[in-house]
Structure 1
Amino acid sequence: MYKVIFRIKGNQGNSFKELRQAGFIPIYFRKNGKDEYYVTLFRGKDLGEVKEAILDLSYYLSKNGKYGDFNFATIYEVGNSNLGKIAGGTLGALIGYYAGGIAGLILGTLGGIFLGELADIEMGEKLVGVLGWPMSISR
């Protein structure tokens, strides 16, 4: 699995549709004026798939008048670890049970697993590289 951070420039709306079309799962979004900042996940086996999906994304974005710069995509490789999910699910279940009974147990477990997954992603990442906007795609 790969974590990719995108920096997109352009005027119109957001780019969630294009990200999903290219196969990325957005988990964080921030907009500052004309600049958009996305943190996404890509479930792929090798770096070639990720680069191909980034090229597809740049094509979809260029059709909508958006573009990137020299630091368009920052790629991190994420290791598969279950430690955060196990710890988060257990801690969430205990706190949820004491706070809200059986319903709290279920909600606490689900919330803990979700937060544990985010912790696993942050702790197990390794920088692969930075890609610029493809020159073959015109602005």
Structure 2
Amino acid sequence: MYKVIFKIRGGQGTSFKELRQAGFIPIYFRKNKGEEYYVTLFKGKDLGEVKEAILDLSYYLSKNGKYGDYNFATIYQISDSYLGKMAGGALGALAGYYLGGIAGLLLGTIGGIFLGELVDIEMGEKLIGVLGWPISISK
């Protein structure tokens, strides 16, 4: 699995549609003075698939008047581990049961697994590289 951080400029609105079209799963979004910042996940085993999806995304974005810069995409490889999910699920279940009984146990488990997944992503990442906006796709 790969985590890709995008910095997108220009255009109107957000780029969620284009990200999903290219196969990315957005998990964080911020917009500041015409620049969009996305943290996404890509479920693939090969770096070539990620680069191809980034090229597809740049094509979809260019159709809407958006573009990137020299640091358009930062790629991280994520090692799959289950430690955060297990610890988050257990802690969420205990806190949920303590605060809300059986219903709290179920909701706490689900929330803990979700937060554990985010911790696994942050702790198990390795920088692969930074890609710029493709030259063949003009602004």
Q: Distance in 2 between matches of 1:39 and 1:33?
A: 18
TM-score (norm 1): 0.99
Percentage of pairs with the same residue: 83
- Could you say what secondary structure the match of 2:89 adopts? helix
Matched, 1:118 2:113: no
* 1:88 corresponding residue in structure 2: 88
Q: TM-score, normalised by structure 2?
A: 0.99
Measure how far apart 1:33 and its partner are: 1.3
Mapping 1:1-139, distance limit 5 Å = 1-139=1-139
- Residue 102 of structure 1 aligns to a residue whose secondary structure is helix
Give the distance between the partners of 2:71 and 2:28, measured in 1 at CA. Answer: 18
Aligned residues: 139
**Distance in 1 (alpha carbons) for counterparts of 2:56 and 2:132:** 14
Aligned alpha-carbon RMSD (Å): 0.4
What is the Cα deviation at residue 99 of structure 1? 0.2
- SS of equivalent residue, structure 1 residue 138: coil
Per the TM alignment, residue 11 of structure 1 is displaced from its structure 2 partner at its CA by 3.0
Q: For the residues of structure 1 that align with 2:71 and 2:33, how far apart are their CA atoms?
A: 18
Q: Specify the code of the residue in structure 2 equivalent to 1:118.
A: L
- CA–CA separation in structure 1 for the residues paired with 2:35 and 2:11: 8
* Contact 2:77–2:127 (Cα < 8 Å) also in 1: yes
Mark the runs of 5 or more structure 2 residues left unpaired by the alignment. Answer: none
CA distance in 1, matches of 2:2, 2:56: 16
Ranges in structure 1 where 5+ consecutive residues have no aligned partner: none
